[in-house]
Amino acid sequence: MDIDVASVDKALSTTRVVRRRLDLERPVDHQILLDCIDIAEQAPSGGNQGSRRWIIVKDQALKDRLAELYMDAAGQWMIQTSDRIAGTGHPQEKVMKSAAYLAEHLAEVPAIVIPTIIGVHDGSGRPGLFDSIIQSVWSFSVALRARGLGSAWTTANLSRQDEIAELLGIPDGMTQIAMVPVGWTKGTEFKKASRYPARQITYFDGFARTWQSGPSSPERHADGPGAVVEVDIKAKPQDIWPYISDIEFSAQFSEEATGARWVDESQQPGIGSHFVGSNSNSYMGDWEVDCFVSHFQQDHEFGWVTTDREHPGAQWRFEATGIAGATRLRYSVVIGPGPSGLTRAIQEMPEKEPRILSRRISQLMSNMTEVVHGIKTSVENDVATRSRDSD
């Protein structure tokens, strides 16, 4: 095969949303845009119907009007928000600064491309219309990137879709999917973005089941089975932090480890801090397990490993990440690689290893779900009480 995988991967992984690095001075030829649209049209299309229609806007009066509509729809808000969070270290600070820049300079961008598709999302269940365009627009962006141009995927304009349709004469029955300002880029090096590694967000044969390697067939403890539960909480990460870093608090929602205490209470908790998780139930009797804090990033991340720092029986982690209007709480576990109660059960019944693992993961997932929902309820109650008190 004569595809240069490294180049393709590089283009795919460095196609960024470009705003501040668009060259506003250098014109963009129609032909290069048409070439990229030809590439983009190779994307799959439901029913193999060619229903995409592209509009290239270069006329200054039209760009001025599009920029006005964009400013009205969200640009003002982007500029105000960017000013408000500038210098605060807010996670959206950089992206807001860049978004505000685009809003201020949209009319100067050499070309604005508006991809549209014949059809509307009308619940008719007919595939292949609306859903056939996003993959194509992304191909367009990657094809531009490979040629030294940059693009910005914007949707804030969509709330003014009717006015844009009128401005450009787009008939009823068409859907605009985005608005893509395009220009040559200032410099051509772009970095990869920070994303979750595939292993953390890819599940095997069922939702939320992870594996650190493999999985082999049949599955083995040595493959590092794990699970993830996530919940969106209407609060800020710093509202959630006291709960996820409080070992006694989060333990109370789980059937598994209803008790937890720090071993050296005089110490500030941090990486390496030692606590003991405990429980008493009919199935395991009384038990205690040593736990060591492995991740500790204020307001964001709290993790611990059980039994042995170097060779843990299990690895647990809470992560709180700000998203629009909420915080996503992610609670994950990886079993092993060290020994635990589970490995004893597997030693006794080695032929049942996959089943033992699968059952254990199901059990953990239901406990973890209780924990994140318990935290969500407490945090959201807290926030509501605080806002009532401040009224």
Ligand X SMILES: Cc1cc2nc3c(=O)[nH]c(=O)nc-3n(C[C@H](O)[C@H](O)[C@H](O)COP(=O)(O)O)c2cc1C
Number of residues that bind ligand X (CB under 6 A): 11
Task: Please name every residue paired with 334 in a beta bridge, in sequence order, or none if there are none.
Answer: 226, 315
Residue number, 155 or 362, with CB nearest to ligand X: 155
Q: How many CB atoms lie under 10 A from the CB of residue 53?
A: 13
Q: Half-sphere exposure of residue 118, counting CA atoms within 13 Å on the CB side?
A: 7
Output the smallest distance, CB 19 to ligand X, in A.
Answer: 6
Vertex 214: Cα angle to 208 and 215 (nearest 5)? 55
- Closest-CA residue to 115 (of 178, 62, 28): 178
Distance CA 181, CA 101 (A): 13
155 forms part of the interface with ligand X (CB under 6 A): yes
By CB under 6 A, name the one of 11, 13, 17, 146 that touches ligand X: 17
Backbone angles phi, psi at 116, to 5 degrees: -130, 165
DSSP-assigned states of every residue in 80-124 = HHHHHHTTTT-TTHHHHHHHHHHHHHGGGSSEEEEEEEES---SS
* List of long-range contacts for 244-250, beta carbons under 8 Å, 24+ apart: 244/302, 244/318, 244/320, 244/329, 244/375, 245/269, 245/296, 245/302, 247/275, 247/277, 247/291, 247/304, 249/375, 249/378, 250/318, 250/371, 250/374, 250/375
| Between 29 and 162, CB nearer to ligand X | 162
Neighbours of 98 (CB within 10 A): 19
Contact set for ligand X, span 76-135 (CB under 6 A): 95, 99, 102
- For ligand X, which is the closer residue by CB, 13 or 212? 13
Asked if residue 323 binds ligand X (CB under 6 A), the reply is: no
The distance of closest approach from Cβ of residue 165 to ligand X in the complex, given in angstroms and rounded to an integer, is 17
In the three-class reduction of DSSP (H, G, I as helix; E, B as strand; rest coil), residue 72 is classed as helix
Closest distance of CB 110 from ligand X, Å: 17
Q: Which range binds ligand X by CB under 6 A, 106-114, 147-155, 236-244, 274-282?
A: 147-155
Question: Min. distance of Cβ 244 from ligand X in angstroms?
Answer: 26
Nearer to ligand X, 193 or 284 (CB): 193
Task: Give the footprint of ligand X on residues 181-220 (CB under 6 A).
Answer: 193
Which residue of 36, 143, 149, 156 would you call a contact of ligand X, by CB under 6 A? Answer: 156
Member of 45, 154, 176, 250 binding ligand X (CB under 6 A) = 154
Q: How far is the CB of 234 from ligand X (least distance, A)?
A: 21
Instruction: Compare residues 150 and 313 and give the one whose CB is closer to ligand X.
Output: 150
Q: How far is the CB of 20 from ligand X (least distance, A)?
A: 11
16 binds ligand X (CB under 6 A): yes
Stretch that binds ligand X, among 146-154, 206-214, 306-314, 345-353 (CB under 6 A): 146-154
Measured CA distances, 65 to 107, 163, 166, 384, 385 (Å): 8, 10, 11, 42, 45
By the 10 Å C-beta count (0-12 exposed, 13-18 middle, 19+ buried), 348 is classed as exposed
Nearer Cβ to ligand X, position 43 or 222?
Answer: 43
Cα 245 to Cα 314: distance, rounded to the nearest angstrom: 18
Nearest CB to ligand X, comparing residues 105 and 352: 105
List, in sequence order, every residue forming a beta bridge with 337; answer none if it has no partner.
none
Name the residue nearer to ligand X (CB basis): 200 or 258: 200
Contact flags string 42-81 toward ligand X, x per CB under 6 A = ----------------------------------------
Residue 21 in 3-state DSSP?
coil
The minimum distance between CB 132 and ligand X, in angstroms, equals: 16
Taking the complex as a whole, how short is the minimal distance between the CB of residue 155 and ligand X, in angstroms? 4
Q: Cβ of residue 134: shortest distance to ligand X, in angstroms?
A: 8
Find residue 228's DSSP bridge partners: 332
Q: At its nearest, how many Å lie between ligand X and the CB of residue 191?
A: 9
Give yes or no for a contact between 168 and 65, defined as CB atoms under 8 angstroms apart.
no
Binding site residues, ligand X, CB under 6 A: 16-17, 95, 99, 102, 152-156, 193
